[in-house]
């Protein structure tokens, strides 16, 4: 019994040291990337089963739907398509006008690219970080730093790529900073996620004289070249000017409601930049 007790302490101590070495090696030196990648296979069945209820309810919604409801939905979608097409016509003329103006101005082109559809299959299990897991990974060419978009707006960027899944850091995470601009007047700012439980953003270093109002739409400014330019990010919900402070406190709410969104898309950057770097998209490190 006594020898067992002594051995327990030594074993505990050696495992503590091993854990600390692992954390340092993984976090500071990035030695364990391949080990993480391999270990991620063991996590796959757990994710798969945890996602069953959500997929089941979606399947249920698709299969057990009445004929009249389908007809109704079809008609509604057709109206929406018509409206969208009309708006697209206006947009196309605007786009051509815009490109002519840009040519005059010799300004850089906006970021454009293809998208890869994905589904959110899980979320970070605690409130300490705001992340979601998507069902696309290295097998589909996802890389670290790739932008994730939803129909309503910008969601975040990929921070870890696993064989067939990836972790995405959301714009509302306190460690994520999104370069944005006010859609109304092009005022630029940096939007950082807030620490609280609410999904909110706070604009950093906004002077009290800057023209940002409640209700303004914040779009991505395209700086940093991670996110596409002019994609909606958040709506300003409050602006507080305190004469005693250096900066105004501006809060914004992201456009995407993460909990009610399942279908999302990953932005695939246009080909030329990839060909330029001679990179293999499946390798996560080169995309940074």
**Considering only 48-56, 66-74, 99-107, 274-282, which stretch makes contact with another protein by CB under 8 A?**
48-56
Backbone angle region of 156, left / alpha / beta, with phi > 0 → left and psi within -120 to 50 → alpha: left
- By CB under 8 A, tell whether 261 contacts another protein: no
- By CB under 8 A, tell whether 126 contacts another protein: yes
Residue placing its CB nearer to another protein in the complex, 125 or 244: 125
- Return d(Cα 132, Cα 154) in angstroms, integer: 13
Could you tell me where the DSSP H helices lie in 118-176? none
Tokens of 151: 């129909």
- By CB under 8 A, tell whether 263 contacts another protein: no
- Return d(Cα 196, Cα 192) in angstroms, integer: 12
Phi, psi of 69 (to 5 degrees): -65, -40
* HSE-CB of 119 using CA atoms within 13 angstroms: 8
Annotate each residue in 208-247 with x if it binds another protein (CB under 8 A) or - if it does not, as one string: ----------------------------------------
- Return d(Cα 281, Cα 277) in angstroms, integer: 11
**Considering only 17-25, 67-75, 141-149, 214-222, which stretch makes contact with another protein by CB under 8 A?**
17-25
Query: Cα 256 to the chain's mean position, in Å?
Result: 10
State which of residues 34, 69, 105, 125 lies at the interface with another protein (CB under 8 A): 125
Annotate each residue in 138-177 with x if it binds another protein (CB under 8 A) or - if it does not, as one string: ----------------------x------x------xx--
Q: How far is the CB of 273 from another protein (least distance, A)?
A: 28
Which residue is listed with tokens 């507080």?
240
**Sign of the alpha-carbon dihedral angle for 177, 185, 247, 241:** negative
Residue placing its CB nearer to another protein in the complex, 100 or 262: 262
- By CB under 8 A, tell whether 54 contacts another protein: yes
- By CB under 8 A, tell whether 12 contacts another protein: yes
Q: Burial level of 21, CB count in 10 A (0-12/13-18/19+)?
A: exposed
Q: Burial level of 28, CB count in 10 A (0-12/13-18/19+)?
A: exposed
**Considering only 49-57, 96-104, 211-219, 229-237, which stretch makes contact with another protein by CB under 8 A?**
49-57
Q: Which residues of this protein are in contact with another protein, per CB under 8 A?
A: 5, 8, 11-12, 15-16, 18-23, 26-27, 32, 35-36, 39-40, 42-43, 46-47, 49-50, 53-54, 122-129, 131, 133, 160, 167, 174-175, 195-197, 259
């Amino acid at each position: 019994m006594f020898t067992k007790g002594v051995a327990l302490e030594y074993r505990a101590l050696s495992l503590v040291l091993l854990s600390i070495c692992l954390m340092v090696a993984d976090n500071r030196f990035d030695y364990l990337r391949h080990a993480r990648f391999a270990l991620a296979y063991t996590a796959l069945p757990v994710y798969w089963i945890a996602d069953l209820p959500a997929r089941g309810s979606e399947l249920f919604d698709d299969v057990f739907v009445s004929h009249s409801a389908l007809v109704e939905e079809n008609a509604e979608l057709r109206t929406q398509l018509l409206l969208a097409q009309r708006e697209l016509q206006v947009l196309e003329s605007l786009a051509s006008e815009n490109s002519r103006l840009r040519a005059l101005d010799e300004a850089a082109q906006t970021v454009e690219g293809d998208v890869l559809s994905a589904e959110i299959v899980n979320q970070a299990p605690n409130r300490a970080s705001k992340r979601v897991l998507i069902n696309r990974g290295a097998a589909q060419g996802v890389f670290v730093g790739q932008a994730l978009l939803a129909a309503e707006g910008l969601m975040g960027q990929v921070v870890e790529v696993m064989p067939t899944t990836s972790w995405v850091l959301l714009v509302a995470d306190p460690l994520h900073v999104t370069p944005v601009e006010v859609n109304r007047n092009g005022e630029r700012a940096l939007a950082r996620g807030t620490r609280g439980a609410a999904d909110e953003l706070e604009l950093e270093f906004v002077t009290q004289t800057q023209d940002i109002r409640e209700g303004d739409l914040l779009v991505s400014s395209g700086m940093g070249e991670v996110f596409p330019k002019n994609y909606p990010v958040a709506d300003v919900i409050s602006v507080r000017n305190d004469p005693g402070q250096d900066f105004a406190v501006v809060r914004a709410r992201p456009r995407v409601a993460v909990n009610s969104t399942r279908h999302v898309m990953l932005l695939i950057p246009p080909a030329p930049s990839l060909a330029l770097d001679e990179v293999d998209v499946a390798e996560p490190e080169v995309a940074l």
